[in-house]
Amino acid sequence: MSVATAAAAPATRPMSREEKKVIFASSLGTVFEWYDFYLYGSLAAIIGAQFFSAYPPATRDIFALLAFAAGFLVRPFGAIVFGRVGDIVGRKYTFLVTILIMGLSTFIVGILPNAASIGIAAPIILIALRLAQGLALGGEYGGAATYVAEHAPHGRRGFYTSWIQTTATLGLFLSLIVILFTRTITGEDAFKEWGWRVPFLVSIALLGVSIWIRLQLSESPTFQKMKDEGTTSKAPLKEAFGEWSNLKFVLLALFGLVAGQGVVWYTGQFYALFFLQSILKVDGYTSNLLIAWSLVFGTMFFVFFGWLSDKIGRKPIILAGCLIAAASYFPLFNLITTYANPALEKAIQNVRVTVVADPAGCGSLFNPVGTRIYTQPCDLARDFLAKSSVKYTTEPGPAGSPVQLKVNDQVVPYSADFSKQAAAALNTAGYPKAGATAGVVKMNHPFDIFTPQVAAVIALLFVLVLFVTMVYGPIAAALVELFPARIRYTSMSLPYHIGNGWFGGLLPATSFAMVAATGDIYFGLWYPIVIALMTFVIGLLFVPETKDRNIDHWH
């Protein structure tokens, strides 16, 4: 494996009109693909009620979230399947297939009869469609990033591939806007009954536009040259993962670049949304708008940091983003609590809550997939407190002693109506009542962003998005440059989708499980902090800088 550097590269030149078309077409198609993928996550609760209605509400929500997670879990397998095809057949046709699979799967969800109509077939088909979406997404990103990078002039790869990096955020933003618009037009009751299908059905128009644009593109010049010379790989999987000379860079890409990038990205967008809704009890309408505005203000920084990486390198920006994020998550999320729900923050600081129980009767509350059912009083009491966003500690009691809850100096023994008595004691001590909205950040319409409380929360969320842009803006160029052209699509896709689909995609559920298990609403932040610091250390010591490589000559 030989590496050509800038010395062998052609001089930097402006991008031609055809190359700009490549950037636009690849980015626009990927926006639509992320839009399709995010719709399900945003509407998971409603979809659960439609397709898992045979089960109790708590169980149906679990199944809906598991179906969403399935799309993340299969992404690396899509990377393997479509990465191999892309390195053998070509970049253009492979990511044309991936967008077709994604678009059709999404449209079918929109017309799929629910469980009340076709019974058990409904959830089975739904999960199959989610798996198809995950496989397609696993093949899409590597193809788009490789295709754009192989068209970009030397010295501008970071800038031009960074436009693709905006697509995941823009896709999320587009899905939120379509959902909010549809909800407003139909009303909440009609939206839950049938209106939720509209955003899925709209995707067929987006699919048509994407296919039309991509059919006009030609194959990447780097792949076409290899094909003409007969130097394309005949066994990209074997070369990429069966030979240590390349496998070591796959592992370095995963642990020294993408794992940290993935957790910073999902913390800044998805866990922040989850934290607002599930822990700080901000209503869904406001939470989505707050995130949407932070994305509006932050998205162009993907392009800025991509451009900057052409000047100073990919590695310094990505690793700095990981380090700064890890160092600032605790103070930032503390401030988000301060402004989003000041009454809750005051209660957390001033109210001492302790569960006193025989340790033999207390199990672990770590339950990231949400399938465990608690029966022991100690576990039920702590589960209630975790879901109520109460900060608590657990104190060992005498063997065989009954469970007690101490709220400051008040003692609440465990009983059949424990939840009611505990809630009353917590409210008296200062915790806000369940469903209370007084003092909680609230947006009355999409442009209600000028009140001090709303502006402060958006500013803090913007900082989180800024970290996302630092780690994500240069990542496509870094991965493309790390691997030789003949196995580039395969090699870069797998670490990217493991890092983002597994390390990142499973972050919200894992972090909340850590919160529930410890009684500390901030404890879940240790997950992204540890992973980001791991990436910083491994990347700093072992990952090479790649911005000056001539990827066209590196076969």
Q: Would you say residue 193 has pLDDT above 50? A: yes
Query: Residues near 176 by Cβ (< 8 Å), separated by ≥ 6?
Result: 42, 288, 291, 292
pTM for the whole structure: 0.87
Compute CA 282 distance to the chain's CA centroid, rounded to the nearest angstrom.
20
Domain boundary among 387, 406, 429: 429
Compute CA 37 distance to the chain's CA centroid, rounded to the nearest angstrom.
11
How many degrees, rounded to 5, is the angle at CA 272 between CA 64 and CA 180? 65
Query: From the CA atom positions of the chain, what is the Rg in Å?
Result: 25
With bands split at pLDDT 50, 70 and 90, how would you rate the model's confidence at 511?
A: confident
Mean pLDDT of 130-138: 85
The mean pLDDT of the chain is: 86
| Residue with tokens 């593109």, as numbered in its chain | 217
Same domain, 95 and 143: yes
Same domain, 327 and 412: no
Same domain, 27 and 175: yes
Domain boundary among 429, 463, 497: 429
With bands split at pLDDT 50, 70 and 90, how would you rate the model's confidence at 103?
A: confident
CA distance 176 to 183: 10
CA distance 384 to 379: 9
Q: Would you say residue 555 has pLDDT above 60? A: no
Same domain, 518 and 463: yes
pLDDT digits (tens, 9 = 90+) for 16-65: 677 777 777 777 767 876 787 678 767 877 887 888 777 666 566 667 66
Instruction: Specify whether the CB–CB gap between 363 and 383 falls below 8 A.
Output: no
- For 319-381, give the DSSP string: HHHHHHHHHHHHHHHHHHHHHH-HHHHHHHHH--EEEEE-GGG------TT------SHHHHH
Same domain, 210 and 169: yes
* pLDDT at residue number 27: 77
Tally of domains in the chain: 2
Phi, psi of 406 (to 5 degrees): -105, 120
pLDDT digits (tens, 9 = 90+) for 70-85: 777 888 888 888 888 8
* pLDDT at residue number 285: 83
With bands split at pLDDT 50, 70 and 90, how would you rate the model's confidence at 10?
A: very low
Structural domain contains residue 147: yes
Closest among 295, 390, 394, 314 to 350, alpha carbons compared: 390
Task: Classify the phi-psi angles of 430: left when phi > 0, otherwise alpha if psi is within -120 to 50, otherwise beta.
Answer: left
Q: Which residue range is the domain that position 359 belongs to?
A: 346-429
With bands split at pLDDT 50, 70 and 90, how would you rate the model's confidence at 11?
A: very low
Mean pLDDT of 259-263: 95
Same domain, 506 and 465: yes
With bands split at pLDDT 50, 70 and 90, how would you rate the model's confidence at 538?
A: very high
CA distance 91 to 489: 8
Same domain, 291 and 143: yes
* pLDDT at residue number 474: 95
CATH number at residue 384: 3.40.30
pLDDT digits (tens, 9 = 90+) for 214-255: 787 777 777 788 888 887 778 888 888 888 888 999 999 999
* pLDDT at residue number 370: 63
Mean pLDDT of 477-497: 89
pLDDT digits (tens, 9 = 90+) for 495-505: 988 998 888 88
Same domain, 119 and 249: yes
